[in-house]
Amino acid sequence: MKLSCLSPSLPQIKPELLAEIAQALTADGCRLLIIAKPLAQRAQIFSYGLQPRNSTPIEKNLLWQDMLKPQTTITAPTSIDEVYLIDRIWEYPILAPLSISFAAAGIQSLLILPLRHNQQCIGCLTLFRSRSSFRWTDQDLILARRLALNLYFAVAQQQVEQMFQDRAYRDVLTGLPHRLLLDRWLNLTLAKMSGTGQILAVILIDLDRFKNINDSLGHRYGDRLLQLIAARLKHTLCAGRRYANGNSAIVGRWSGDEFALLIPELRDINAVKTVADRVLCSFDLPFVFEQDFQVLKTNSLYIKIGMGIAIATGDNLDRELLLQQADIALNRAKNNGKNSYEIYDSIAVDAATIGTSSPQLNRLRLENMLDRAIVDRKLFLHYQPQIDIQTGTIVGIEALLRCQDHHSNTINPADFIPIAEETGSIIQLGEWVIRTACNQSKLWQEMGLGDFPVAVNFSVKQLQDRNLIDTIAEILTETKVSPATLEVEITESIAIENLDLTISILESLREIGVKISLDDFGTGYSSLAALKYLPLDRLKIDRSFIRELKLNTIDASIVSTIVNLGHELNLNVVAEGVETIEQFELLRSINCDAVQGFFFSRPLAAADLETMIITGSYWHHNCTHPYNLLSH
């Protein structure tokens, strides 16, 4: 591949470069967003060819915003590996606000590549195609990744070089690069190290009793001491000396009395120890001040330090992790109490912390994943039909949320909904569920499968969300779904938690025409009297009453009472968790209206459910089907 854009230098980020990228990927247009550097004012956008017709940059849309957020998860240190491929723009509800400007330009599909390494994102490349017949191929993706990686290097390199020139990124007192710059430099150097077999050392240095020196000698001397230490560290490391590939060791001020040394291109661990020994030795000599300290009758001061070292190698190139490791090693060195250093030993530390930290870590991972789940397409809905007990027709479909972890295992809502509630992401997830269910319902209507309501489950946090009603109204308008085909399920325990609030929200929902069902009925111990105040359409009898349902048992009389009560209140009664023909027959004999459960169908992906509806297999799936039996 002979593309000059595979090794661009930044001044070339002009239409020619973008034109070349677009051509290589048979795109009709593309744009590159470069996020402003820390402390800098403006982001930059470069564009070429076909562009969406709107005045606000598309990168303000939630999809791009989420993509560009710094990631807090500890990601694999492989470089640019995220590619967001959107072949049919109109199928993505998150892009709905842009649909007009995409349509006006004739844009049909997108390829988006965040320019990110580790958790640092410096921009993103978006490519547009106007021909829907053209799909992005695997080869396109491979090339796009290479291009994005090269763009990342070019932009990051230039930003770091500019930051070195800019006084804003230097510590005023010592003139050393400060943390923001060290962070950028480290990220870029780690990205460049991938696959080279080189070693980089991150060394954090903490001064012993610096506070004491400040307090007893005064801040003027404290400041001067920091300047002297900075100069000595630079001298010891010959900082600024260029290594073979243009890198140099960096000394920076990390925080108050902490310095950081970043040393690239080391041969092996012995080379790291040599540097560390040299730094320690340099503190054997005193720091000499221009004037005597009155209190000490001398002008020189001996300082002790602790050093924590983390080593980046081919399989440990994660910036955050390295800094954490250096910190852990520093704490150990400080505990030794003398001038010393510790090198982080991952095996020893992991062995010591395993078991205690992993449940928290797993939870943290899940929290982060949920926050990004919509953008990362880790979420999907499964659908379970509800069937009229007399006619065998489908009278409703419940949408049930599923989430996929990074091993593509499906996680059930009972495990992640409580976390999403705690972190607050349930509001966003809930909105996504409603929108997706409405889109699906519309699709089924258009396919002629029926206009049964699709039910979504609500969490208590959603009920407390002030924007709930507006959001639902907006989604209904946007998806052009009739309100009566949306049903909301609220569990009995949520409903009675704050009865007044529930009643007012349900009434507002009723006003816009949405149907309401009381889920898991019988588990919330609500007073039956409360039922008559709730504006409801349906009552769903909890699975626990159905599980052991047999003739002449207590459960049978409870279920029969609930069915009668529901009918008294003019409610449609559905039994959940129907798994056997016996349960079904009994429910039919006591005039329950509808049934839902594994006996008919497990919750299924939309496409599988469609096949089931079209073939009718949910009610003649095998010779034991209820309607076949009942007709005899």
Closest distance to ligand C2E from the beta carbon of 380 (Å): 11
> Which of 112, 122, 389, 417 lies at the binding interface for ligand C2E (CB under 6 A)?
417
Of 543-562, binders to ligand C2E (CB under 6 A) are: 543
Partner touching 295 among Mg ion, ligand C2E, none, CB below 5 to 8 Å by kind: none
Q: Report how many residues bind Mg ion under the rule CB under 5 A.
A: 5
> Which of 188, 201, 251, 400 lies at the binding interface for ligand C2E (CB under 6 A)?
400
Binding marks (x or -) toward Mg ion, 480..499, rule CB under 5 A?
---------x----------
Strands 287-293 and 298-301: antiparallel
Q: How many CB atoms lie within 10 A of CB 600?
A: 23
Q: Which residues pair with 348 in a beta bridge?
A: none
Closest distance to ligand C2E from the beta carbon of 601 (Å): 9
Pick between residue 29 and residue 522 the one whose CB is nearest to ligand C2E.
522
Q: Measured between alpha carbons, how far is residue 192 from residues 183, 204, 314, 386, 627 in Å? A: 14, 22, 11, 56, 67
Please tell me whether residue 206 binds ligand C2E under the rule CB under 6 A. Answer: no
Three-state DSSP class for residue 341: strand
Partner touching 49 among Mg ion, ligand C2E, none, CB below 5 to 8 Å by kind: none
Please tell me whether residue 603 binds ligand C2E under the rule CB under 6 A. Answer: yes
Length of the chain: 632
Q: Which residue type sits at 526?
A: S
> Which of 111, 520, 539, 595 lies at the binding interface for Mg ion (CB under 5 A)?
520
Q: Report how many residues bind ligand C2E under the rule CB under 6 A.
A: 25
> Which of 414, 551, 554, 623 lies at the binding interface for ligand C2E (CB under 6 A)?
414
CA separation for the pair 192, 264 (Å, rounded):
11
Three-state DSSP class for residue 255: strand
Burial 407-443 (b: 16+ CB within 10 A, else e): eeeebeeeebbeebbeeebbbbbbbbbbbbbbbbbbe
Please tell me whether residue 486 binds ligand C2E under the rule CB under 6 A. Answer: no
Closest distance to ligand C2E from the beta carbon of 568 (Å): 23
- Phi, psi (rounded to 5 degrees) for 631: -75, -10
Closest distance to ligand C2E from the beta carbon of 543 (Å): 6
Binding marks (x or -) toward Mg ion, 447..466, rule CB under 5 A?
----------x---------
Q: Tally the C-alpha atoms within 13 A of residue 34's C-alpha that lie toward its C-beta.
A: 19
CA separation for the pair 79, 383 (Å, rounded):
37
H helices present in 385-513, as ranges: 413-423, 426-446, 460-463, 468-479, 492-497, 499-512
Q: Are 582 and 550 in contact (CB under 8 A)?
A: yes
Closest distance to Mg ion from the beta carbon of 540 (Å): 6
Which H or E run includes 455? strand 454-457
Q: Which residue type sits at 243?
A: Y
Please tell me whether residue 598 binds ligand C2E under the rule CB under 6 A. Answer: yes
Choose the stretch contacting ligand C2E; rule: CB under 6 A; options: 83-91, 163-171, 548-556, 595-603.
Answer: 595-603
Residue with tokens 């459910």: 609
Alpha-carbon torsion 449, 451, 457, 463, what sign? positive
Closest distance to ligand C2E from the beta carbon of 400 (Å): 4
> Which of 67, 401, 475, 490 lies at the binding interface for ligand C2E (CB under 6 A)?
401
Closest distance to Mg ion from the beta carbon of 413 (Å): 10
615 Cβ neighbours under 8 A, 6+ residues apart: none
Partner touching 400 among Mg ion, ligand C2E, none, CB below 5 to 8 Å by kind: ligand C2E
Please tell me whether residue 418 binds ligand C2E under the rule CB under 6 A. Answer: no
Pick between residue 187 and residue 596 the one whose CB is nearest to Mg ion.
596
Q: Site residues (CB under 6 A) for ligand C2E? A: 384, 400-401, 412-414, 417, 430, 433, 456-459, 489, 519-520, 543, 576-579, 596-598, 603
